[in-house]
Amino acid sequence: MARLISFAMLRQALDTCGLWSVARGVVRNAAAYKGHLAACDLQRRNDLDGRGNLSEEALAEFTRYFLGICLEQIEFMEGLMCPKDLRSRIMAWADDEIRTKRLHEKAKLILDHILFNGVLERKDLTGIVGVDDRQARRIAQPLVEVGLIRSVSTRAPYSLAFPAELAPRLMPGLYPGTLPA
C-alpha cells in the first residue's frame, strides 16, 4: 500500500505524463525495498524508538531509503532527457517547421513563453505574439495539433506537452541508439 499511495501522490503532484516513475527504482532494488518496508513492522527497539508499538527508527530509515530512490530516478531521467538542452531542441524543431511553412514564425514566441513560465494564459496570447485574437489562435493551433502544447479546455491556459511523435527529437536519450552527444 505504501508504494501505491506514494506512486499515486507523486504522479498527481509531478504530472510527468508517465515520463518519470519511482516504480523503476523500486523494481531495480526490490530486495532492499522489501527489507526496509518489512523493518517498519518491527517492534519498537527501545524507549527512544518512537512512542507507538512499531519502530519509528525503521520508518525513518525506510523514508530516507525511499526518498533516495526518488532522487536516483530523477537523476537518471535528467541524464536521459538533458533538460538544460530542451529549449534549444524545441526551438530547432520550430525553426524546421517554420522553414517548411507548417508553423508561423511567431509560434516560437508562444513556445518561449511557455518554456519560461510553464503556462500561457489565453488572455496573454495576443500580447505575446503581437497580433489580434483570431490570428493569435491561428498561430497557436498548429502547436496544439502536433501536440506540443495542450490545454484542458478552451479557456484553460496552454502548457507544454511531449507528443510521442516528437519524443525522439525532443528527448533523444529516451530512445536506444539516440543518446545525446
HEC-encoded secondary structure of the chain: CHHHHHHHHHHHHHCCCCCCCHHHHHHHCHHHHHHHHHHCCCECCCCCCCCCCECHHHHHHHHHHHHHHHHHHHHHHHHHHCHHHHHHHHHHHHHHHHHCCCCCCCHHHHHHHHHHHCEECHHHHHHHHCCCHHHHHHHHHHHHHHCCEECCCCCCCEEECCCCCCHHHHCHHHCCCCCCC
Rounded mean pLDDT, 136-164:
94
Can you tell me the distance from the alpha carbon of 44 to that of 55, in angstroms, rounded to the nearest whole number? 4
Between CA 67 and CA 99 the distance in angstroms is: 45
Are residues 35 and 22 part of one domain?
yes
Q: Is residue 102 part of a domain?
A: yes
The domain in which residue 29 lies consists of 2-81
C-alpha count within 13 angstroms, C-beta hemisphere, residue 55: 17
Instruction: Tell me how many domains the chain contains.
Output: 2
The set of cell numbers assigned to 83 is: 533538460
In this structure, the answer to whether residues 137 and 118 fall within a common structural domain is yes
Domain end call among 49, 81, 113: 81
Q: Is residue 68 part of a domain?
A: yes
CATH of the domain at 164: 1.10.10.10
pTM: 0.66
Q: Of the residues 81, 107, 132, which one is the last residue of a structural domain? A: 81
The verdict on 94 and 149 lying in the same domain is yes
Distance, in Å, from the CA atom of 118 to the CA atom of 120, rounded to the nearest integer, reads: 7
The residue among 81, 103, 123 that closes a domain is 81
63 and 115 both lie in a single domain: no
Residues 45, 17 share a domain = yes
Q: Do 124 and 149 share a domain, yes or no?
A: yes
Task: Tell whether 96 and 143 lie within a shared domain.
Answer: yes
What digits encode the pLDDT tens for the residues 73-130?
888 888 877 878 889 999 999 999 999 999 999 999 999 999 999 999 999 999 999 9
Q: Using one digit for the tens of pLDDT, what is the confidence trace for 8-58?
A: 787 777 766 666 778 888 888 899 989 988 887 777 777 766 677 778 888
| Other C-beta atoms lying within 10 Å of the C-beta of residue 171 | 21
Residues 44 and 109 in one domain: no
Q: Order of strands across the sheet with 119-120?
A: 119-120, 158-160, 149-150
Judge whether 95 lies within some domain: yes
Within-domain flag for 181: no
Q: Are both 153 and 168 inside the same structural domain?
A: yes
CB 170 within 8 A of CB 86: yes
Q: What is the pLDDT of residue 179?
A: 45
Q: Do 53 and 98 fall into the same domain?
A: no
